[in-house]
Chain A
Amino acid sequence: MWKQPYFVIGFSIIAFFLIGSFVYEWIWGNVPRQIYYIMEGGRAVEGAPISPNWQFPLGSDEFGYDLLGKLMLGAKYTILAALAVGALRMLIAVPLGYILGTYLDKHRKWISSLADSMHYIPLTLFAAFVLTPVLWMPPEGFTNTIWERIGIQVVIMALLTVPIVAILIANEAALLRDKEYILAAKTLGAGRLRIIRQHLYPQMREKIAVLYGQQVMETFIVFAHLGLLKLFLGGTKVSYDPMFGDPPMSISYEWAGLFGSTFRYLQSAPWLPLAPVLFIGLTIFAVSLMMEGYLRSKNPKVKKLRKAKVEEPLVEWNREQLRNNMVRIKEQEMVKAEE
């Protein structure tokens, strides 16, 4: 696994963001540097938001905070939350799927059509609908801490698509269960639990790993979508002041919030919403690199097989030649017949 360049590149991108995030906070504290205007030859040439330049690679936001610093500080919230959502979802869905696929196989059909109805509800919409009471600050303020809210959000988002993932695993397990070697194990007296542990799980380990990667990628997308709806990771600070209310704000510097609260600056300061989305895209890309690397390390045959196939000698029928030969043979026969 560690010899696969794809895996290593993907892993190092994510590790860079995570370690960088903690190191940044450790060195510079949890407030990014702030600058109100740039001086050049004794005159202010640009006020906040400052466009990207060498000193501030990603520019600054409307209050003059360094955007790169904000993104680095926020990386840990977004990435860890997405990884946690995927992990929790798999932890619930995998055993559930196995139980559905083995013990409750008779009921699998109707449960799967119930879970199938989830496919008609857009995930973002569903998440927004269910999470609004958790994340939108009520007028009297939040009653729980930010970590509690992040925890609740992770649990709810994990639960949202558990039915779909569980059914996927159940169907896969049911397919495998009809294989001969499992029938043989059954005949030898293996119980269901043993079959799951010894046969089904090892067979499906790769599929489960890929599924986990897909869940993490999906979670990143949903986070970004929720950001657009002003539902930020760990809660949205809403100002209920009717006159001078601030726009809804994110409490931490997580990426969905950085994107969602700056989306309206798309035309005037495009780097503000673009940079967080680019970072999200980069992380998703890193996850897909890791998945590909993992798969390649598990099936190195793929490459060899392909090579072998290419080197196979191709017999090209030369039609012209064939025809000439046929004509010649025919002519010889005719000559013989005449003789």
Chain B
Amino acid sequence: MNYLARRLLTFPLILLGVSLLVFFSIRMIPGDAITAMLGTEAGLLTPVQRQALAAYFGIDQPVVVQYGRWLAGLLQGDLGISVTYGKPVLTVILERFPLTLELALLAMVIALGIGVPAGVLAATNNERSTDVVVRILAMLGQSTPGFVVGLVIIYVLSVYFGFVPAMGSFTPLWTDPLANLGQLIFPAVTLGFAFAASVTRISRSAMLDVLSDDYIRTARAKGVPGRSVVWHHALPNALIPVVTLSGVEFGYLLGGAVIVEQIFALPGLGRLTLDAIGQRDYALVQGCVLFVAFNFLIVNLLVDLAYAALDPRIRLGAR
């Protein structure tokens, strides 16, 4: 608990650093919010009107003052108002987040469900044909860009099965689970494909390492059958790198998967951030980045807790 408390105490500091970085860097991009918002009509504004709008959004002040105001709002849980949507930033983000979270979780389940067994299978058949096949598939999975897989899936579904996944709007899991799954399963497979490939490769190499460890020989010497040696004695020791990789990948996925969201026309966090940058919606960009950073911190913490759960030497402290 002590450890957990100390970790949580570092969160505000890291988030503060992230916010500083994003706040000032986005303002270095040329262009301003009002032009972006009104498009060609911005040219019709009189300087006075423009000034009034800038004052309304608070972007007439020096950047440092803006940052101070924003930070003060943040401490009260107020991330500001999105210029594009005319709603509080947090509300906009939370509307998009369930889709992103569900997509990331599904992708991870697919990746681990395929990747770990495939990696174990390859490792236990090292240098035999099964291993070679798995390695080729993993190489393919890692080197094929996500949009290719996504496009192929859409093509096959629509041309051969006449099935077009619902696009544009998102059906939450709790309103219609089937429609929700029908909508997300293909993007999840697209994301999970490459993810599974990396998991396979890392599980394979970790298992190969562990299988040559002394305690595996000990297990065999005491008559443990091969299957149990692999799953009971070796796998728990090989999971640490898999957890590390999964944590990093999952963190990225929680930031939204821009390309897959684009292909499947899903309103996720990735496109939200991208659009916000295009619109110079400063408050929304800051909100998104901060939210993603926060997610990363949480995921990293979970990864460290998972290490402790997996390895008693971490949990109890090695001598």
Q: Do A and B bind each other?
A: no
Chain B contact residues, CB within 8 Å of chain A: none
